[in-house]
Amino acid sequence: MSQRSCLSVILAAGEGTRMKSALPKVLHQIAGLPMVAHVVKAAEAAGASGLALVIGHGADEMRKAAAKFAPKAETFEQEKRLGTAHAVIAARAAISKGYDDVLVMFGDTPLIDADALTLARRRLAEGAAVVVIGFRPPNPTGYGRLIEKDGKLTAIREEKDCSEEEKKIGFCNAGMMAVAGAHALKLLDAVGNKNAKGEYYLTDIVEIASAQNLDVVATEASFESALGINNRAELAQAEAIWQQRRRHDAMLSGVTLIAPETVFFSHDTEIGPDTIVEPNVWFGPGVRIASGAKIHAFSHIEGATIASNCDVGPFARLRPGADLRNKAKVGNFCEVKQAVIEDGAKVNHLTYIGDARVGAGANIGAGTITCNYDGYSKFFTDIGEGAFIGSNSSLVAPVTIGNGGYIASGSVVTESVPDDALAFGRARQKTIPGKGKELRERFASAAAAKKKAAGADH
């Protein structure tokens, strides 16, 4: 198997009108990744060394997206929608390169299991010319039935053409197939369009191959793996299935999810063993968590790196570039962006740290803000090891707080502070005896007068 070359032709030209979106259907996301990119990942996992994307609707947008998730893929535009076989033949230039195996896949089946593709390729290696991937839906109504005889697939019968006996068959066509590269173009070129719609159907190659005494067989994938997405409801269904799979895998790898159904992962979330995740946590793309971390409830994390034994949340937000080192803590209602929180440093509550470094062992008091943006440019705040930043302080960047520096509560710091220095940055307090009472009486009188005047108007 490993010595056989493989091309994956992924059909992604459909308009997806039922999605009711300007975005091409296959670019709608599952776990933060376009559904067609999930298909690409499955093809690669099954050993596909070549990728051909057949695109149509939103071609420019598709090419731009593909450059990110499949930079080595060739793209072929299907200018007219004349059926599935017509779509595959649009990639003729790629197919003609002489791959041993050709996988035909659909960009709107994001849950396809690489194992199902590998099984289909194995049957090609055993001598089959065409392998159709089938599945058993809970209700087969509307699906094409796979007609088998003596272990061979003889036809794919659309439901409207099925006999009453054939309608009882629960084994249905998932649409995907594997074709031996030596026969692929010959079979595709033999497909005609003498049907009600005048289209070229990929399924016709089953009978064409059988008529040429070539072996045609069917393999089986799970219903979930073959699930196609046509509308937003099915998109949500696929997201739920993907998340359920990922949660299960995380728990089996040693991660504790206290309420699994409330935790949402991204396609690339990395999370180490002995990490505990409390309820209602959302992981966006680009999150890496080492072992032994604790993620408290209602935290929102994306583009962040969290080292061993860190403590995050509850209600924390880690934005891209947040880098928490060993045993760092980011507590409740804190936001960290593009900043390093070094070993053992604490950002406990009600704080914003952006474009900054917080040195090892430093303590950031409640209500502290790094003022990193002047409306035009971003500036850096450097907080040294063991520094103490008092509550309700504003650090106006660019500014440096030296190692062991101490900032008095309520300070606005605009100048750098040397190591071990104490800095005050606030106005001197002034106390006027009796003035509070006088102000209350004045305000109460004004309010009463206003209320009386309002009543007189009525």
- Dump pLDDT digits (tens) for 25-80: 999 999 999 999 999 999 999 999 999 999 998 899 999 999 999 999 999 999 88
Rounded CA Rg of the chain: 31
457 within domain boundaries: no
- Within a 10 A sphere around the Cβ of 377, how many other Cβ atoms? 8
Q: Greater confidence, 245 or 158?
A: 245
Q: Which of 220, 243, 271 is the C-terminal boundary of a domain?
A: 220
- Dump pLDDT digits (tens) for 137-158: 999 998 999 999 888 998 898 8
Q: With b meaning 16 or more CB within 10 Å and e meaning fewer, what string describes 88-97?
A: bbbbeebbee
Out of 267, 300, 349, 458, the active site residue is: 349
438 within domain boundaries: no
Q: Which of 215, 202, 269, 203 is nearest to 242 (CA)?
A: 269
Q: Is the pLDDT of residue 198 over 90?
A: no
CATH number for the domain harbouring residue 129: 3.90.550.10
Residues 264 and 402 in one domain: yes
E strand or H helix that includes residue 38:
helix 35-45
Does 398 sit behind a cis peptide bond, omega within 30 degrees of 0 on the bond before it? yes
- Dump pLDDT digits (tens) for 95-149: 999 999 999 999 999 999 999 999 999 999 999 999 999 999 999 998 999 999 8
Give residue 80's pLDDT: 85
Domain that holds residue 396: 232-423
Q: What is the mean pLDDT of residues 241-268?
A: 98
Q: CA 117, CA 131: separation in Å to the nearest integer?
A: 10
Q: Which of 34, 45, 32 is nearest to 12 (CA)?
A: 34
Residues 188 and 309 in one domain: no
Q: Which of 193, 220, 247 is the C-terminal boundary of a domain?
A: 220
Q: What is the mean pLDDT of residues 377-396?
A: 97
Q: Is 349 a catalytic residue?
A: yes
Q: Is the pLDDT of residue 225 over 60?
A: yes
Q: Greater confidence, 159 or 449?
A: 449
Q: Is the pLDDT of residue 2 over 80?
A: no
Residues 290 and 213 in one domain: no
Q: Residue 86 — pLDDT band, cuts 50, 70, 90?
A: very high
Residues 210 and 269 in one domain: no
- Dump pLDDT digits (tens) for 315-335: 999 999 999 999 999 999 999
Q: Would the pTM count as exceeding 0.85?
A: yes
Give residue 436's pLDDT: 87
